[in-house]
Chains A and B, each alone.
Chain A
Amino acid sequence: MRSKAAAQLLLADGFSNIFNMSGGIVAYAGGKAVGDEDFGMEFFVGGNFHDAFQMSYAMEEGLKQLYLALETLSDDEEASALLAKLAKFEDGHKAKLKAMFPSAAEGEEISTNSLEGGFDRQQILDHFHPRTANLKDIIELGMTLETQALDLYSRLARQTEDEESRELFHYLSKEEKTHLHFLSNEYDTLLQQ
């Protein structure tokens, strides 16, 4: 009912494209992101485009490293194949980022243990160890990480005052959405088996 009241406030103020989601978030059967509005943003303190680029690039690299590390732990063939694919996606991201913003890609790379969405790589590896991850684990982990990343990049896009950074974050949020879609389809396929 809160959202109904909020929608009415907006309509009364002249907004026209307002939709109240009936049933609220409880009824929403989709990936949810956790954390407060600033979660994961501490890595993006610089506020200029160069820093934004370097941090995004480092996060993509961090995620790739996680997928590769999990791949070495996994003895499930399908899970390994998926992990290799996910790592390749991140490589694709990095290549596209470099092509889109060539001048920002110059200079040394920041190495970091921070992941997309502000997750910690070691924590995740510890979670799986000594048990090896199966395909379902990997899909679920991937969906969680990509959901967090989509949320983080969307928040960053809203918050930044730099136009080029906004473009970068919008691009990345679109990419994360595509990944999420891919993983959801993989999950559906798995559930049908």
Chain B
Amino acid sequence: MNWKSLFTPGANMSPDEVKSFMAEHQPDDYQLLDVRQPKEYEKGHIPGAMLIPVKELTERMGELDRNKPTFVY
């Protein structure tokens, strides 16, 4: 566990804050990352979210854009 990052300012955001950020920005200005299981994603996800289940994340980090604000749920 990287304990330092637990205290990174702004690392947590409420769903309402995420929603207002999305309302004020274009869909290609940010990334939404869904780290749940595919079955959970299938039942309902935030529109535009990409799915990378948490167990696959280390291998698939290359699919993410490092320069964009990324909201993880």
Contact = CB atoms under 8 A, between A and B. Distances in A.
Interface of A: 2-3, 5-25, 27-37, 147-148, 150-151, 154-155, 157-158, 170, 173-174, 177, 181
Interface of B: 1-2, 5-6, 8, 10-16, 18-19, 23, 26-28, 33-36, 38, 41-51, 54, 57-58, 61, 64, 66-73
A25 B45 contact: yes
A15 to B, nearest CB: 6
Contact of A19 (B19, B41, B71): B71
Across the A-B interface, the 10 shortest Cβ-Cβ residue pairs: A154-B48, A32-B44, A151-B47, A21-B73, A28-B15, A11-B5, A6-B35, A19-B13, A17-B69, A150-B47
A28 B72 contact: no
A14 B61 CA distance: 11
A33 to B, nearest CB: 4
A19 B15 contact: no
| Interface hub of B16, B43, B68, B73 (most chain A Cβ within 10 A) | B73
A15 B66 contact: yes
